[in-house]
Amino acid sequence: MTQEKNKFTNPIQNFLSILTSRERFNFWLLSGINTFFFLLMITIGGAHFTTCLAFYTVVEVTIIGYYIFVNRYPRKTKFREWIDAIAFAVVAATLIRTFFIEAYTIPTSSMEKTLLVGDFLFVSKVNYGARTPMTPISFPFAHNTLPVVGNKSYLEWFEMPFFRLPGFQKIKNNDIVVFNYPFESGRPVDKKENYIKRCLAIAGDSISVVNQQVFINGVQAENPPRMEYKYHVKTDGTGFNQKLVRKLDITEGGALSENGDFELILTKDSKAAIRKESNVISIDSTIQAKGFYAEYIFPHHEAIAWNVDNFGPLYVPKAGAEVKLDSNTFYLYEQNIKVYENNPSFEMKNGKFYIEGKEVVSYKFKFNYYFMMGDNRHNSADSRFWGFVPEDHIVGKALFIWMSWDTNGSGLSKVRWDRLFHGIN
């Protein structure tokens, strides 16, 4: 018995003997983290034991292999120092951006003027609870494509189920949230493109838009202070002074014709300022009338005639809530039931509804869902266009802007100094 024990312990003792005290501490720390997530995923996360064990083994072998590899080189050489520094930086940065905080940039104007193109911001993973990686084997610091070559940055053959660690808070109405674009197909959930919008309605809410005004559960919603809409501006044939345009921060829109017609994206304040200009004859909202069917608007069916300015009412599903199925609810929740909740056989035939060939008259939702909209209400591809955001697509909460870069500026004016370390609300 003693000899068998020695056979087992000697390799471990031999391995540990080649490590310094600091390396032993790091080894046990990394192994402890690996063991913690292994136990977490099989007890709470609901992952299959074999899958978790395979991933645990791969990670543990990688950790051991790394220390065996680096200890082939003298500790005082520059090469060894570089290996240690790079390995530590990669592991530390990966843990931080996965479970604590990550940097993002704003590429489009869908959240203007709350967030500007060129804003760099930090997004908290801990506020709503960090989501454990669903495709854990991937290239460090690359989201879904490899730098330069452009191929996939991840391996799809090994996937983990959705699991979220406990957070500090729940998503609230009007929070600005980063999430994976749910309507994208062909990629795992955590590798879909990242979007950022304002959460207008949370799970259990009913949302409607009446002549551009949002209502939540029948009550008028609070409007973001710098929310924008598209307006038709008619002038006496003359244009606008560029100094005024820059002062009012009007960055979208332009002339519609040579007769003095303009289409401009304006905030409440910039609209009031433009109205005072002597050459302005009228400013009219470009509201799509109630009952006008826009085929590009969710749920993309003419039986439900909604548009960007008149939308809903629409119930946002809550986990455990049950909805009665009819022709309307089928179109509204088909994507949720079939794709997000993994019931690909869900269908409607002759006015009846079936899952795996069995008739159902109602459906109970597994996930919480959210309804997102951009503050640039006429230039934002959001939930009005593609529907709900499931809870497993939520990435984190936008905290603050740490840098803002204006490509139209020059020299030091390229930096928007007044936006540095600016909170987001």
pTM of the model: 0.85
In degrees and rounded to multiples of 5, residue 227 shows phi and psi of -60, 145
- Residue 399: exposure state from Cβ atoms within 10 A (0-12, 13-18, ≥19): middle
- For residue 356, the model assigns a pLDDT of 95
The CATH class given to the 100-201+390-425 domain equals mainly beta
pLDDT at 292 over 90: yes
Q: Which residue has the higher pLDDT, 194 or 36?
A: 194
The arrangement of secondary structure in 228-285, i.e. its CATH architecture, is 2-Layer Sandwich (3.30)
Give the model confidence (pLDDT) of 304-316 as tens digits: 999 999 999 999 9
Q: Which residue has the higher pLDDT, 117 or 71?
A: 117
pLDDT at 78 over 90: no
In degrees and rounded to multiples of 5, residue 272 shows phi and psi of -60, -40
Q: What is the mean pLDDT of the chain?
A: 89
Q: Which residue has the higher pLDDT, 202 or 425?
A: 202
Q: Which residue has the higher pLDDT, 43 or 413?
A: 413
pLDDT range class, residue 73, cuts 50, 70, 90: low
Using H for helix, E for strand and C for coil, what is the string for the chain? CHHHHHHHHHHHHHHHHCCCHHHHHHHHHHHHHHHHHHHHHHHCCCCCHHHHHHHHHHHHHHHHHHHHHHCCCCCCCHHHHHHHHHHHHHHHHHHHHHHCEEEEECCCCCCCCCCCCCEEEEEECCCCCCECCCCCCECCCCCCECCCCCCECECCCCCCCCCECCCCCCCCCCCEEEEECCCCCCCCHHHCCEEEEEEEECCCCEEEEECCEEEECCEECCCCCCCEEEEEEEECCCCCCHHHHHHCCCCCEEECCCCCEEEEEEEHHHHHHHHCCCCEEEEEECCCCCCCCCCCCCCCCCCCCCCCCCEEEEECCCCCCEEECCHHHHHHHHHHHHHHCCCCCCEEECCEEEECCEEECEEECCCCEEEEECCECCCCCCHHHHCCEEHHHEEEEEEEEEEEECCCCCHHHHECHHHCCEECC
Q: How far apart are CA 101 and CA 402, in angstroms?
A: 13
Give the model confidence (pLDDT) of 159-209 as tens digits: 888 889 888 899 999 999 999 999 998 899 999 999 999 999 999 999 999
- For residue 75, the model assigns a pLDDT of 65
Compute the average pLDDT of residues 132-143.
Answer: 87
Quick one: what percent of the chain has pLDDT higher than 70? 95
Q: How far apart are CA 246 and CA 277, in angstroms?
A: 15
Give the model confidence (pLDDT) of 357-397 as tens digits: 999 999 999 999 999 999 999 999 999 999 999 999 999 99
